[in-house]
Structure 1
Amino acid sequence: MTKVLAQGTFDLLHPGHLHYLREAKAMGEQLHVIVARGENVTHKQPPVLPDQQRLEMVAALNPVDAAHIGHPEDIFVPVERIDPDVLVLGYDQHHDEEKIADALTDRGIDCAVRRANACDTEYDGAVLSTGEIIDRILQNRDGE
């Protein structure tokens, strides 16, 4: 059985998240997802939603077989525990594939690293980022 791992913040779920997880699931039989702890999100604005809420939302999605909260200090601890065959990075995630692959090798994790494709929605007005959702809410509610 091919075990696949995806990871991310998953704050304010949107179609891009679902696309990423569906694509990751298609790369194997079992999909595990690591939801980043809010305190570890340093490359962008911190999550709006608490860790447990984001974890529960991801766990409820159809492609996801198991959802895990990230480790407070070492992002590779849950990766070692899950021991995936494939780690799938999101289309727009800031991670460098080669550096991730090297770090996995250094930890003794035999795992391919792939990147998901961009989400191509078939309808107008799709919002594919949490930041865009927040901006749209603020724009639409600004006059109230």
Structure 2
Amino acid sequence: MTGRRIVATGTFDILHPGHLYYLKESKKLGDELWVIVARDSNVKHKPRPVIPEEHRLAMVAALKPVDHAILGDKIDMFRPIEEIRPEIITIGFNQLFNEQKLEDQLRARSIASRIVRIGKYADGDLCSSRLVVQRILDKRCHDLHHPEHKDH
């Protein structure tokens, strides 16, 4: 491995432009972008993913900014970070991490990575998996109750 390594993390349940923005902005900070995709069993701060972890991993790995995509560790979220040793770890604007607490946890494990929070993608209201699901329910479930609106 050569060059400046960046790590981005997330669930990446239903891919949307906000995910792509986060990954593109993360890649701009270095040479090699590693993405750690959350395990299904580790997603506890929001509803469980709709898309299985192997499929989410494959989708993220196929994105142009991504050099390496791996699943997170089932027990220790810092284990992949210890192996990759990135210069920077990016977190998304809506990820619930406290940057200082995270840096303290990293230092306690002798990991010197800097934390950078990536801003919000400004264009569009479908930059959240939750909002994409809601749009699907609003449009498709409405159509189920009104057959004249069905797509054929």
Normalised to the residue count of structure 1, the TM-score between the two structures is 0.96
Three-state SS of the structure 2 residue aligned to 1:19 is helix
- In structure 2, what is the equivalent of residue 120 of structure 1? 122
- In structure 2, what is the equivalent of residue 138 of structure 1? 137
Distance 1:63 1:5 in 2: 12
Q: Please identify runs of 4+ aligned residues in structure 1 that moved more than 6 A.
A: none
Contact 1:15 1:126 in 2 (8 A): no
Report the CA distance between 1:12 and its aligned residue. 0.5
Contact 2:4 2:30 in 1 (8 A): yes
Supply the RMSD in Å over aligned alpha carbons.
0.8
Contact 1:37 1:69 in 2 (8 A): yes
Could you tell me the percent identity over the aligned residues?
44
Count of aligned pairs between the two proteins: 141
The question of 1:70 aligning with 2:72 is answered yes
Return 5+ residue gaps in structure 1 as ranges. none
The question of 1:32 aligning with 2:34 is answered yes
Normalised to the residue count of structure 2, the TM-score between the two structures is 0.91
Contact 2:61 2:69 in 1 (8 A): yes
- In structure 1, what is the equivalent of residue 101 of structure 2? 99
Return 5+ residue gaps in structure 2 as ranges. 145-152
Distance 2:88 2:75 in 1: 23
Distance 2:14 2:61 in 1: 14
Contact 2:35 2:70 in 1 (8 A): yes
